[in-house]
Structure 1
Amino acid sequence: MNPPFPIPARRTFTAKTVTLAHGGGGSAMRDLIDDVFLSAFSGAGRAAPEDQARFDLAALAARGDRLAFTTDSFVVDPLVFPGGDIGKLAVCGTVNDLAVGGAVPVALSCAVIIEEGLAVELLRRVVGSMAQTARAAGVSISTGDTKVVARGACDKLFITTTGIGVVRAGLDVGIAKARPGDVLLVNGLLGDHGAAILNARGDLALDTTIESDCAPLNGLIDTLIAAAPGIRMMRDATRGGVAAVVNELAEASAVGVRLSELAMPMRPEVQGFCEILGLDPLYLANEGKILAVVPANEADQALAALRAHPLGREAAAIGTVTAERPGRVTMETRFGGERIVDMLVGDQLPRIC
């Protein structure tokens, strides 16, 4: 039987830029969400639109015994940079925050604030990058929100992602669990993201192209946990770099940390970049690197497992935990001296994530 009135066909989305109407709650907003967001995140299997995502508690409980929950906002400038963009960064950042707590990431939310005038083509690129990265990480983008603000009220595009994951039963990692004798590991070359962002801004006429290390690390972390079941702590070294993480570790665990400058894995380009600008590479942001603390008797197998993974081929042991000078981080320099590594007061590079 024919319906008593015609059902309107879905309109083709042809807008070139985002307007305030696309955030007004009407058909223009529905068209933007359907065509740009839902088509990327849900594909052909999209469900009826609801105001929340729903999960089977029994399925979650089968994966572990605790729920992990995290959120982060991303305001990077530029939106697209060598090795990634703000969309890839948002997914990787939230997945990694879950994974370093020992959780298996399950699902993300995506809330966007869009400045009026943003090119729809750029928005599609960012959303497509988010969808691709989520698939690579094995998570779904299950719910979200869209706001459009007037020109000047935000800088092009801000993204907030929230994630949930399930912590493995029996695993207990944390920033306060380091013990004297433990070994500090990183899974690869440091400082790439911070250097890539500054170089991408075009403020410097450098010939080299440095790519961000932005990547989801949950697969690598699975490998690490299997190799070192006694692992004490993991943390992704984002804003503030490795220096921020080791200072937080030393304070929370009431231990000393001794680093080795010669052991720090770093690209010659990044080292040279820092020397030109007077930056300390220990404080440069990373988006695909973790610092892990493992017992000394598990360090060799943990390092071997990291190096066997594609995201850990340049992994290195960079220092040890000591009982001396609790709360203090020191570094043995390449010349045989020693210097204190403090927590950064401000930020060497603005807007890196």
Structure 2
Amino acid sequence: MNDRASGRIDGEAASTAPADASTGAAFKPRRAAHVRDVSVNLAHGSGGRAMRDLIEDVFVSTFDNPTLSALEDQALIPLAQLGAYGDRLAFTTDSYVVDPLFFPGGDIGTLAVSGTVNDLAVSGATPLFLSCGMVIEEGFAVDSLRRVAASMQRIALEAGVVIVTGDTKVVERGCADKLFINTAGIGVVRRDISISASGARPGDVVIVNGYLGDHGAAILVARQQLALESDVQSDCAPLNGLIAAMLAACPEIHCLRDATRGGVATVLNEFAHSSNVTIRIRESDVPLREEVKGACEILGLDPLYLANEGKLVAVVPPQAADRVLAAMHAHPLGRQAAAIGEVEDGPSGLVVLHTVFGGQRIVDMLVGEQLPRIC
């Protein structure tokens, strides 16, 4: 786990069992390290004792699995273990630079795990293993780092994934903004699942799993750019359990994507362009909290473009729409799921919104950035 040249934190074999999955050796807890420094300093990235203590104290003890605790430079994953879940490997990576690091309903750690799990899950994959790369600015509080690591482990346990490898870098003060995280993930897709942005067909139904724009509104509140009478929290959550329930109801889901940066509008445009179809949605059916709707009106924002971190857009065959909605409503993360539109023949790449006033407007791809540093 400890690459002395780079400050790497890695694990050896992908398993949460008491024994090492690749060797069968019994798991032996490592010595209890403790970081006495209040803040991270350059020595914590130098490859020596200070770095090792930081890794063991903050990361190994928190993520707490035999794979990571082996402190090798890589995670060795038995192919037979992966093959038990399906026949195709799903692999993704994402980096998180959110500002501020802590916000109502989550923090950069919850984002890092949830976002990568969701990127795997929307392909139909069962997420299994994650990596964790940390870029830490000199002076960052060690207790804040522990808090982020604890959030990552909590979401990993909720999602049923294991953080098995990673890397730690410390940069000079002013060379980063407190903390950046990169997570990569692998999962496995079953043979009978085929989900693609190019899969939408005329007649298909467009479904979302709940209130849109909560994450964007929560970031605005945390930046003190918005005061709301009732608290809006980020919707940050791993969606693999909800998606598994949806696939059980309809393995033939055509399109599926989480609506993060660029919001639902961007996802719909990607589906319409890739599938060469027109998508029509009804403003009256789009689930929005009154607080978010009001904030968007005040600030001149379009909630369809606001970022989400626990919302998905699905395109399903019309005959399966009721089954999928029923499965979603039975899951905690899909209780406010709604059908918001349909796919039809028409100009390729067109998304049309039917407004509450009886008019229509084109919903184009987002130009520019409504809210920077959102995830």
TM exceeding 0.5: yes
Alignment of 1:119-198 (within 5 A): 119-198=141-220
Aligned residue pairs total 345
Alignment of 1:55-66 (within 5 A): 55-66=77-88
1:145 is displaced (CA, Å) by: 0.2
Aligned partner of 1:319 in structure 2 is 341
For the Cα contact (< 8 Å) 2:32–2:57, is it kept in 1? no
Identity of aligned residues (%): 64
| 2:235 alignment partner, one of 213, 228, 236 | 213
Instruction: Please give the alpha-carbon distance, in whole angstroms, between the structure 2 residues aligned to 1:52 and 1:143.
Output: 6
Deviation string 1:313-340 (CA, Å, 9 cap, x unpaired) is 0000011001022211100000110000
Which sections of structure 1, spanning at least 5 residues, go unmatched? Answer: 1-8
Aligned partner of 1:72 in structure 2 is 94
Alignment of 1:1-353 (within 5 A): 12-42=34-64, 47-353=69-375
1:207 is displaced (CA, Å) by: 3.5
Q: Give the RMSD, CA atoms, in angstroms.
A: 1.2
Aligned partner of 2:9 in structure 1 is none
Instruction: Please give the alpha-carbon distance, in whole angstroms, between the structure 1 residues aligned to 2:161 and 2:316.
Output: 27
1:60 is displaced (CA, Å) by: 0.6
1:203 is displaced (CA, Å) by: 2.4
Instruction: Please give the alpha-carbon distance, in whole angstroms, between the structure 1 residues aligned to 2:223 and 2:92.
Output: 29
SS in 2 for 1:104: strand
Instruction: Please give the alpha-carbon distance, in whole angstroms, between the structure 2 residues aligned to 1:48 and 1:306.
Output: 39
Could you list the structure 1 runs, at least 4 aligned residues long, displaced by more than 6 angstroms after superposition: none
Aligned partner of 1:6 in structure 2 is none
Instruction: Please give the alpha-carbon distance, in whole angstroms, between the structure 2 residues aligned to 1:69 and 1:11.
Output: 33
SS in 2 for 1:318: strand
- In 2 relative to 1, CA 44–235 (structure 1 residues): closer, same or farther, beyond 3 Å? closer
1:306 is displaced (CA, Å) by: 0.5
1:43 is displaced (CA, Å) by: 5.3
Counterpart amino acid of residue 144 in structure 1:
G
Instruction: Please give the alpha-carbon distance, in whole angstroms, between the structure 2 residues aligned to 1:336 and 1:11.
Output: 65
Please give the TM-score of this superposition, normalised by the length of structure 2. 0.90
Instruction: Please give the alpha-carbon distance, in whole angstroms, between the structure 2 residues aligned to 1:43 and 1:324.
Output: 52
1:44 is displaced (CA, Å) by: 7.5
Which sections of structure 2, spanning at least 5 residues, go unmatched? Answer: 1-30
1:10 is displaced (CA, Å) by: 5.7
Deviation string 1:57-83 (CA, Å, 9 cap, x unpaired) is 011111100000000000000100010
1:13 is displaced (CA, Å) by: 1.9
